[in-house]
Amino acid sequence: MQPAADFNPSKLARLLLRRSRQGALATLMAGSGDPYCSLVNVASHPDGSPILLISRLALHTKNILGDARVSLMLDERAEGDPLEGSRIMLAGRAEEESDADELAILRRRYLNAHPSAELFVDFKDFAFFRIRPLGLHLVAGFGRIIDLKPEQFLTDISDAETLLEAEQGAIEHMNEDHLDAMNLYATRLLGADSADWRCTGCDPDGIDMAAGAKVLRLDFPERVTGPGGVRKMLVKLVTDARATDGGSSQAPV
């Protein structure tokens, strides 16, 4: 089915990947190959691919270790009939991360999204897995059903090494010194209610924000690849937010 003319499937798919904190993970039962589905918490890698922190004692982990093929269903958790909301089914391979540098990225990104996981993240049976997407199926309503390839929904991070190195420092700076700016982004640019909005992630395409169980995604109007570019972008977005508010919140510096 062809999408409607005003429909941006890549943008919507990226939004669901960035904002989702839980999903239905489908694996193949070891031995029989029968389908098995479980509820898991998820976070997103800087490129948008899903991150899992799962126990080797769990059946779905045992299944993955026997056959890495998985699918992950994510939906927007909108009020009303869930079938009227947008959702994606991402297919790929779930791979346990062993590289120290990549593992550090997965760990901090996941804990920023799920702080309560600090209680068990170092348990010996838990491990970080990353789903390497092979494609996804997006359903967003009548006339809005489409299949996408990874290059159509993942974020290119090949030129953003300095940004990723500075990401955690930028997150902590925003949360320690510029919560007023975070609240402006949420309320004036994204139409959310005022709350204790905090930054949980930053990548070339935008920043992730959360207040309790509520999650938002603020896309940048243009791509940035370094810490200087992020700083300038966040200042610009505060200026844009002020223009809608007439306020005087301090810009990030």
Domain assignment present for residue 173? The answer is yes
Number of neighbouring beta carbons within 10 Å of residue 19? 18
Q: Say how far apart CA 148 and CA 56 lie, in whole Å.
A: 31
**Which CATH number do you get for residue 101?**
2.30.110.10
Q: Which domain holds residue 28?
A: 9-152
- Give a yes or no: residue 3 inside a domain: no
Q: What is the C-alpha separation between 10 and 151, in angstroms, rounded?
A: 9
DSSP 79: S
Residue 108, Cα to own-chain centre: how many angstroms? Answer: 13
Reported as a single tens digit per residue, the pLDDT across 4-39 is 557 899 999 999 999 999 999 999 999 899 999 999
Same structural domain, 207 and 89: no
The answer to whether 128 and 51 have CB atoms below 8 angstroms apart is yes
DSSP structure string for 198-238? EEEEEETTEEEEEETTEEEEEE-SS---SHHHHHHHHHHHH
pLDDT of residue 85: 82
Measured CA distances, 239 to 88, 185, 228, 250 (Å): 34, 10, 17, 10
Residue 119 belongs to some domain of the structure: yes
What does residue 22 show for φ and ψ, rounded to 5 degrees?
A: -140, 155
Q: Report the domain count for the chain.
A: 2
- 70 near 92, Cβ under 8 Å? yes
Digits of tens for pLDDT over the chain (253 positions)?
444 557 899 999 999 999 999 999 999 999 899 999 999 999 999 999 999 999 999 999 999 999 999 999 999 877 777 777 899 999 999 999 999 999 999 999 999 999 999 999 999 999 999 999 999 999 998 778 999 999 999 999 999 999 999 999 999 999 999 999 999 999 999 999 999 999 999 999 999 999 999 999 999 999 999 999 999 999 999 999 999 855 545 556 5
Tell me what pLDDT residue 246 has: 52
What pLDDT was estimated at residue 5? 57
Query: Are 107 and 228 within one domain?
Result: no
Residue 249: predicted pLDDT: 52
pLDDT for res 83: 78
pLDDT digits (tens, 9 = 90+) for 233-248: 999 999 999 998 555 4
Alpha helices, DSSP H only, in the chain? 9-19, 59-66, 100-113, 161-177, 179-184, 227-245
Rg over alpha carbons for the chain, rounded to the nearest Å, is 19
Are 148 and 165 contained in the same domain?
no
| Residue 245: predicted pLDDT | 55
